[in-house]
């Protein structure tokens, strides 16, 4: 649980969402449990009530929700452009750009955001490497909470390669930030060299201005970003249906699955926060309107999935992913939601 001391500072998450209704409460509950105080969330073109759920959470003082006016640059980069001018960003001590399938998993201290900041006391920005997780053999769209059911992780040793090990950065808002990037702040050239990146490994993309991914020594003993990029097979079909917020127009298929569904090592370290997260979750869910909208999003996505499975391309992809996952289960519509 958070102390009054941790609440004195403002730790902001900036996010972009579309049709993520079933996953919002867990993601919010978890990041509140580890010390984030503010959430600035942009949505666009929602069909499952994600926007309505966030409206209600805003009414309850949990998030700030903005309907995104999407520019040619796409939903993600449009949201980051607007966020840089938002008062929550300018008033934050630290900010962090994070998607709803990403969970910041801090291994040191009590696992709270202030522990990570204290570890890199002189840093202006702290990049944390992604760690991909597989579908754990799950077919159904919502087999349970991500942090509970997805434990099959990409091996943490450097010898396993850097595939998919991009970073997400916690950073201090500053007039020296030229723009917000998906992986970290991009500093103005005039001040980039003086900025200190708190990292235990090298970075390979214009390091002085903004990191993209590490070269080696991923730093998982300090922190990782648990990235549930595919979740389950049916959840992946719905992800393909709604499209990507950054790479607009890209069709997700088996090649994407092969790249981002990575496992081989059990990692349950994030479950150290299970009790605190559950307490936060229960508080959010106590509101009957929130509970209704959460369930409505689940039901909408189940119905949408049934419609998608009538389309040959989706059903063919589903069967291909079942084969790739080595599942022997019944391929009919699953009972679990």
The residues near 267 (Cβ < 8 Å, ≥ 6 apart) are 131, 133, 151, 153, 156, 226
163 pLDDT band, cuts 50/70/90, is: low
In the chain, pLDDT over 90 holds for what percent of residues? 75
Of 25-34, 60-69, 134-143, the poorest mean pLDDT is in 134-143
- pLDDT, residue 211, reads 61
Read off the pLDDT of each residue in 305-320 and give the average, rounded to a whole number.
Answer: 95
The per-residue pLDDT of the chain, averaged, comes to 89
Biggest alpha carbon–alpha carbon distance for the chain: 60
Q: Are 157 and 201 in contact (CB under 8 A)?
A: no
Q: How far apart are CA 320 and CA 336, in angstroms?
A: 21
Residue 337 lies in a domain: no
Comparing CA positions, the residue from 132, 146, 149, 97 lying closest to residue 258 is 132
Residue 333 lies in a domain: no
Comparing CA positions, the residue from 59, 22, 60, 18 lying closest to residue 41 is 18
Query: Which DSSP string do the residues of 85-138 spell out, in sequence order?
Result: TSHHHHT-SEEEE--TTEEEEE-STTS-HHHHHHHTTT-SEEEEEEEEB--TT-
The residues near 29 (Cβ < 8 Å, ≥ 6 apart) are 277, 278, 280, 281, 284
Q: How far apart are CA 328 and CA 337, in angstroms?
A: 19
- pLDDT, residue 280, reads 99
Q: Judge whether residue 191 has pLDDT over 80.
A: no
H-only helix segments in 151-224: 189-192
Structure tokens at 137: 């053999």
Strand partners, 168: 128
Instruction: Provide the 8-state DSSP code for 335.
Output: S
Structure tokens at 293: 């909208």
Number of domains in the chain: 1
Of 92-96, 162-166, 249-253, 330-334, the poorest mean pLDDT is in 330-334
Q: Judge whether residue 284 has pLDDT over 60.
A: yes
pLDDT tens profile 288-298:
999 999 999 99
- pLDDT, residue 332, reads 56
What is the number of other CB atoms lying within 10 angstroms of the CB of residue 125? Answer: 23
Q: How far apart are CA 118 and CA 290, in angstroms?
A: 35
Read off the pLDDT of each residue in 146-166 and give the average, rounded to a whole number.
Answer: 81
Q: How far apart are CA 302 and CA 298, in angstroms?
A: 6
State which of 48-62, 124-138, 216-230, 240-254 shows the largest mean pLDDT.
48-62
The residue range of the domain holding 279 is 4-323
Residue 296 lies in a domain: yes
- pLDDT, residue 16, reads 97
- pLDDT, residue 218, reads 80
Residue 328 lies in a domain: no
What is the number of other CB atoms lying within 10 angstroms of the CB of residue 255? Answer: 9
36 pLDDT band, cuts 50/70/90, is: very high
pLDDT tens profile 52-110:
999 999 999 999 999 999 999 999 999 999 999 999 999 999 999 999 999 999 999 99
Q: How far apart are CA 42 and CA 99, in angstroms?
A: 11
- pLDDT, residue 39, reads 99
Q: Dihedral of the CA atoms 269, 272, 276, 280 (nearest 10)?
A: 10
């Amino acid at each position: 649980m958070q102390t009054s001391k941790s609440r004195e500072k403002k730790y902001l998450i900036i996010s972009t969402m579309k049709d993520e209704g079933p996953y919002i409460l867990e993601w919010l509950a978890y990041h509140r449990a580890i010390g984030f105080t503010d959430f600035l969330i942009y949505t666009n073109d929602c069909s499952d009530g994600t926007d309505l759920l966030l409206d209600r959470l805003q009414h309850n003082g949990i998030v700030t929700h903005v309907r995104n006016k999407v520019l040619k640059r796409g939903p993600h980069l449009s949201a980051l452009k607007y966020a840089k001018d938002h008062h929550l960003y300018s008033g934050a001590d630290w900010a962090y750009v994070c998607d709803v399938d990403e969970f910041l998993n801090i291994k040191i201290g009590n696992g709270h955001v202030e522990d990570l900041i204290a570890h890199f006391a002189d840093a202006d920005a702290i990049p944390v490497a992604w760690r991909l997780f597989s579908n754990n053999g799950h077919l159904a769209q919502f087999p349970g909470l991500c942090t509970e059911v997805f434990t099959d992780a990409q091996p943490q040793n450097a010898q396993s390669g850097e595939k998919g090990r991009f970073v997400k950065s916690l950073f201090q808002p500053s007039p020296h930030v030229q723009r917000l990037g998906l992986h970290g702040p991009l500093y103005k050239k005039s001040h980039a060299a003086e900025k200190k990146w708190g990292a235990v490994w090298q970075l390979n993309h214009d390091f002085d201005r903004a990191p993209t991914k590490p070269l080696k020594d991923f730093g998982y003993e300090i922190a990782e970003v648990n990235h549930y990029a595919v979740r389950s097979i049916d959840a992946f079909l719905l992800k393909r249906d709604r499209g990507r917020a950054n790479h607009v127009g890209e069709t997700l298929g088996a090649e994407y699955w092969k790249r981002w569904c990575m496992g081989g090592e059990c990692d349950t370290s994030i479950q150290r926060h299970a009790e605190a997260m559950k307490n936060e979750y229960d508080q959010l869910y106590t509101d009957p309107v929130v509970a209704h909208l959460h369930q409505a999003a689940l039901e909408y996505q189940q119905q949408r999935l049934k419609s998608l499975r009538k389309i040959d391309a989706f059903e063919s992809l589903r069967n291909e992913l079942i084969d790739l996952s080595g599942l022997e289960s019944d391929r009919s519509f699953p009972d679990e939601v």
